[in-house]
Structure formats: structure tokens, C-alpha cells
Structure 1
Amino acid sequence: MIKINTQSLSFKIGSIIILTELIILFALGVFYTARFTGELNDRFRDQVALPGVLMSKGLLRYETATDHATIQKMIGDSVSDCMVIGANHKIYYSLKKEYTDKMLEDVPSIYKFKEFNGTITKPEFDFIREEGLRQMVSISPVYLTDGKFLGYL
């Protein structure tokens, strides 16, 4: 049987060293997890906002909002809907055909967002719960090449 003398100086110093290492490793783990999660979220948000940026620069046609494969490939994740909404709140293009040519007020899941009440200058992100799933909503401003606000994507 091995007997450990917990009163010895070497045991106390060794315990303090191990405890200090555990605390430092835990703190580093929390820090780097938060940092990498933030970087992944930023990259994903940039990817989700890409179609709106390209439409504002005239490099992507508005009709692309009705092409599920193209939008999904650009974003790199599954897409449940994509709409081009005018400043007058009319939905001009949508992946879901039933929303095309309707007013924003006819889509209760996204009508509630305050971003539709004015002109936005950068993409805004929020989450909704629809059909039991938590989904990210990106509202990107769409401008004409001369800087005039056209609507939202």
C-alpha cells in the first residue's frame, strides 16, 4: 500500500502547480472557444449578406432570388426563403412563389422586424422560430449604383 503524506511541502507545491495549470487551461479554452465561435459567426454573416452586396453592385440579378440552387450555393447553407422587397414593401421576387407580388405585411414571420420601417445601410441579422426551428434572418439593403435606396433582400 502506498502512503501519501499530504502534509509534505512537495505535495502542497505539486498540488498548487496542477491546480494553477487546470485554471489556466480552462480560461484559455473558454477564451479561444469564444473567439473562434465569433469568427465563425462573422464569416457566416458575411456569406449570408453576399447576395445583397452583389445585387447592390449590379453584379447579381434580382431574379436570382428565385433560384434556390444559386442562392444556396452562394450562402453555403440551406435556405428556406429569399425575397427581394422594394422600399414600398412590395415583394418582387421570392423563392416561395406564393409571396411574389404580395406586400410585406402579408408575411407575418418577417413583417415584425423594425429594419423594414426605414432605410438601412448595412445588413441586419436576427432569429425567428418557425415550424419549431430557429432560423437566421438576414435583411440586406439593396441600392442602385447611384446610391439610391431600392429595398431589401
Structure 2
Amino acid sequence: MTAPRRSLLPIAAWLLLAGAAALAGVRISPAWGKLLSLIVCAGALRIAFRAAWLMARPVHAARDPQRAVVRLRGEINTENAERITQRLLAALSDSPTVLEIDLAAVSRITHRGTQAFFDVVRAAKPIGVPVVISNANPQVRAALHGIGLDHVLRYTNSD
């Protein structure tokens, strides 16, 4: 079986389930049975159409193939600052033209958590890699501003 057919198989299965639920809705006599069949049919159609849409949508090429994008999430604090530092430094080891740190899913950053950004800026500056912070919420931006990283970081709010 080829790869495209294999990826269409789950969609076909969901459509088959939707058809079976619609047929059952016609044959079942109590109103609650018809309603239940309609709900199952609608759910199966939703899943099938969503899967088909995800498969059919175009995949956009990266703006810059040498751009390293690291997406962080949750809280950046004392417990995970070292792990985040290692992750950011690993992204720098591939010699990107730009290191973008996406903070859209970061809820909070503590003073100790900002140390990860200091370490990355310290490593990126000698090799000439600009560090860009994207999608930072106001609390995170204020924390980075409070320690003076605004002078060495660029900010953007686009994906």
C-alpha cells in the first residue's frame, strides 16, 4: 500500500462510520435513538473532514532554512532553567543564521529562569547569531526588560 492511500484509510473509516450512523438513524424508531445516531454521525464527519483538511493544506516552506526556532512552554524557573539553557545552546550548535525563541506558550518567567537567556546571548554574540524573542506575553517581556536583555534581544510578535 502506498503512503497516500495509507493516510486516507483513517478518513475513509470515519466516513464509513458516519454513513453507518446515518443509516442507523433512519432505521431506529425511538427519537432518542435518532438523536444519538445524528450525534455520532456529526462527530465522525467532523473528525474525517478535519483529518482531510490537515492532509490537504499546503505546507509552507520556512522563510529561512538556517533559522533555528525553539518553542518553549510553561513556566521558566529554577527547576528547568538549566535544561532550557542546554536546549537553546543545542540549537546554536547547528550554526543557524538566526535563533528565534518562541515564548507564546510561556506563562511566566522567574528571575532565575532569565539566566537561560543570558547564557544563550553570551554564546550567540561571538559567533554573530542574532537572538530573536517572538510572541512573548507582557509578564515575560517585563522580566527580560527588568534584567536589561532588551539591549541585546530583538522582539517580534509574528509566527
What TM-score comes out, normalization by structure 2 length? 0.24
Query: Which structure has the highest helix share of the two?
Result: 2
What TM-score comes out, normalization by structure 1 length? 0.24
